[in-house]
Structures are given as structure tokens and as C-alpha cells.
Amino acid sequence: MDGRECERMLSVALEEARAGRAEGGVPIGAALFGPGGELWGRGHNRRVQDGDPSLHAETAAFRAAGRRRSYRDTVMVTTLAPCWYCSGLIRQFGIGTVVVGESATFQGGIAWLRRNGIKVVDMKSAECRELLESFIKARPEVWNEDIGVE
Amino acid sequence: MDGRECERMLSVALEEARAGRAEGGVPIGAALFGPGGELWGRGHNRRVQDGDPSLHAETAAFRAAGRRRSYRDTVMVTTLAPCWYCSGLIRQFGIGTVVVGESATFQGGIAWLRRNGIKVVDMKSAECRELLESFIKARPEVWNEDIGVE
């Protein structure tokens, strides 16, 4: 998987993040791609929109992909490094690769994922970072709620 | 939290697991209790019923509890030791205690949770174990799908 392919996948997650921002929600997006690079599911954080704390971007994309017998050679792309909840999802279901837009704002479980054999590609995207950082500045209490920080 | 209180909480998760079995689904139930022992949310695995792979029992109970600012001193009770996905949820949101019906069928992330300061109480419930083991015997392919095993 080359850099251009990672960019293509990240662009879908970024569209989702922007949609979340437009709805007034936490601007984090994600998508799950199958072994051939085909889109299986995409989504964004829905805490604010649906009052649903269980739908982080990654779980929304996973949900949208529906029931699957295997996640071998799939790629989860997300605008932000996955938290423990979403890292646990990736490990449990054997998703092989995670492409993160950035991990500067929040590192989540990416070191743990790498230690457990999952490939993590960090795109160090300025756009992903600016999108989230401007939200955190405007709505710090919602961001803290979203990651379980009191 | 004494044994009687753990039994009371587990009985709610068991009701959920039995409801899941009656619907033809994976018979695992869970509930989230607030700091005073009050019920915040309850639910069961909905993979079969809703075609939704993101709703394990624990995530269903967490979702049902709605948005919360803090999970301090809350208790997640579940009929089965939580998988990595649900263990990650528990760690990320700072849920302090996990009461598991059993961990003989599946151990999930309970050793990792304990290492990270979360209290885990194992009730070693024969009923929880029989409920799940009979399902695994009847529908091994659904069980494997539910934990990401090919």
C-alpha cells in the first residue's frame, strides 16, 4: 500500500470528519476498506448528533460495514489515532492495518497496536490536526467527554 | 461492593443474555451501574438481531446509558469476560469495576484490565457458562464471527 493509496483512503475519512463538523459534532471520521481496497463502511463520531457515546468514528465505520466473516487484510483509516476503545476493536477483529491522519493531538493505543503486530501508518496530516484542534479549543468539555476525561 | 450486590447486578446482565437467546442471538448480556448502584443502561449482543457487529453486550449497555460526563465509580457487569473491544471501552472511559459472570469460556482482556488498575470480579457463574457454551455448540460460526476468529 503506497502513499497515494493511503491518501485516497484518508480523503474518505476526512470527508466524514468535515461532515461531523458541519453537524456540530466531534470532527473525527473513519472508513474501513476491504482487502482489495474497496470501501466497506464509513462514518463519523456521533456523540453530539445522536447522543450516542458508543459511536466513535471507527466504530461507526465498522458498524456501517455490516457483518463480516473476516477482517484479514482490511484497512481502518481514521483522522485521529484510535483511543483504547477503538484500538481494542481493531485488535479483536484482526484488522491488519490502521492509517491515522495524525497522532499529535492524541496518541490513543497506537503503540500497543504496533506491539501486537498491527501495521500503523501515521500520515501526519495538518488538516486532520487543525480540524480537531479547533474543535477542542471551542468545545473542550465535549472533547473530554468523548475520551472519558473528567 | 459485597457478593450480594454483585449477584444483583449480574442478574440484570443474565436477564439480558436470556433475552438475546430468546431472539436467536449471541446470549451475552451486560449492564452499567452508576456510583450509587443505580442502573444506567442495559443491553445484549445484537449481531444476529440487527446485523450490527458493533453491538456487543457491553457496548449496548454503554450506549443505552447515554452521554455521561464521568464513569468514575461505575460498574460494568457482563455475563462473559469482555473482549479487547469491550475491554478497551472500559479502560478508555475509566469504568472502575467490571463484574464478569464467567471467564472460563473466553478470557478476553481481563488480565490487561487488572494490570491497568481496573477491579475485576469473576463470579464463576455456571448459568452464564452454560448459556454461552450451548450457543457456541449450536452456532460455532456465529460465535467465531462475533470475536473475529476466522
Question: What is the ipTM, given to two decimal places?
Answer: 0.97
Output the nine-digit C-alpha cell for A101: 491522519
| 3-state SS, residue A120 | strand
A88:B86 CB<8 A: yes
A145:B67 CB<8 A: yes
**A69: chain B residues, CB-CB within 8 Å:** 141, 145, 150
For the entire predicted model, the pTM comes to 0.98
- Residue from B68, B89, B107 to probe the interface with A (highest A Cβ count within 10 Å): B89
- Asked if B139 is an interface residue toward chain A (Cβ–Cβ < 8 A), one would say no
- Residue from B49, B69, B85, B147 to probe the interface with A (highest A Cβ count within 10 Å): B85
B88:A93 CB<8 A: no
CB proximity list for B138: less than 8 A, separation 6 or greater: none
- Asked if B150 is an interface residue toward chain A (Cβ–Cβ < 8 A), one would say yes
| Contact between residue A88 and residue A109 where contact means Cβ atoms under 8 Å apart | yes
**A89: chain B residues, CB-CB within 8 Å:** 54, 84-85, 88
A53:B72 CB<8 A: no
Q: Which of B8, B74, B4, B14 is nearest to B44 (CA)?
A: B14
Strand partners for A69: none
Give the integer Cα–Cα distance in Å for B137 and B141: 10
Q: Which of B31, B143, B7 is nearest to B83 (CA)?
A: B143
Q: What pLDDT score was predicted for residue A1?
A: 83
B63:A72 CB<8 A: no
Residue at A40: amino acid letter = W
Tens-binned pLDDT, residue by residue, of chain B (150 aa): 899 999 999 999 999 999 999 999 999 999 999 999 999 999 999 999 999 999 999 999 999 999 999 999 999 999 999 999 999 999 999 999 999 999 999 999 999 999 999 999 999 999 999 999 999 999 999 999 999 999
Give the integer Cα–Cα distance in Å for A52 and B66: 6
Give chain B's domains with CATH numbers: 3-147 (3.40.140.10)
In the predicted model, residues of chain A with pLDDT beneath 70 are none
Which residue of B67, B72, B148 is in closest CB contact with A94? B148
Give the integer Cα–Cα distance in Å for B50 and B87: 22
**B59: chain A residues, CB-CB within 8 Å:** 54, 59
**A94: chain B residues, CB-CB within 8 Å:** 148, 150
Residue A99 parent element (H or E)? strand A97-100
Backbone angles phi, psi at A138, to 5 degrees: -80, -35
Give the integer Cα–Cα distance in Å for B76 and A61: 25
Give the integer Cα–Cα distance in Å for A142 and A135: 9
Q: How distant is the Cα of A115 from the closest Cα of chain B, in angstroms?
A: 14
